[in-house]
Amino acid sequence: MKGFTVLLAGTILLNGCYTYRPLDNAQPLAGTRVSAELTNDGAHELSGQLGPQVEHVEGDVLAVDSNGVQLAVRQVETTRGYQVDWKGEKVLLPRAAVSGWQEHRLSVGGTSLMGGLLVGALYGMYTLLLGGAGELEGNGGSGGSSGSH
């Protein structure tokens, strides 16, 4: 049962729900995952690196300095809603090119809800598969002893 509990806890953590929320401070910190909303001028200025009509850039902050924020880009989204995955390519976003930052955070409420549903589903399967098997074994054993009387 202990192994089942560890497996369950690991599954819930791996399948946690995440959301983007506005940054608490004015600039992101190195090591955080963020989404940057670009200004129109910023999107135009960065079109040679990011592609045309990019509105949002998602990635991991590598460094922050007076020039801007260097990201390992995971995904870009265009003004038409198209999302393009990246493989961590480094891009420097000048401060003036960004109109807003959001941080990728664990959603406690969403994760709790999904975790509760997962626990209920696993418990139901456990009861159905193993609980039912135990009842059949018990009935089969008592039926065998009744037939021998």
**pLDDT value of residue 77:** 95
The answer as to whether 101 is a domain residue is yes
Q: What angle do CA 24, 30, 35 make, to 5 degrees?
A: 60
Q: How many helices (H) and strands (E) does the chain have?
A: 5, 6
Task: Kindly indicate the confidence band of residue 29, based on its pLDDT and cuts at 50, 70 and 90.
Answer: confident
Q: Is 126 inside a domain boundary? A: no
The pLDDT tens digits of the residues spanning 92-141 come to 999 999 999 988 665 455 555 555 666 666 667 777 777 755 554 555 54
* Tens-place pLDDT, residues 92-106: 999 999 999 988 665
Report d(CA 32, CA 105) in Å as an integer.
9
pLDDT at residue 40, as a whole number: 95
> Which comes out higher in pLDDT, residue 128 or 30?
30
Residue 72 lies in a domain: yes
Q: Is residue 70 part of a domain?
A: yes
Residue 44 lies in a domain: yes
pTM to 2 decimal places: 0.59
Q: What is the extent of the structural domain holding 85?
A: 19-106
Interval 70-100: pLDDT, tens = 999 999 999 999 999 999 999 999 999 999 9
Picking from 18, 13, 12, 14, the residue whose alpha carbon sits closest to that of residue 117 is 12
Query: Considering the domain boundaries, does residue 138 fall inside one?
Result: no
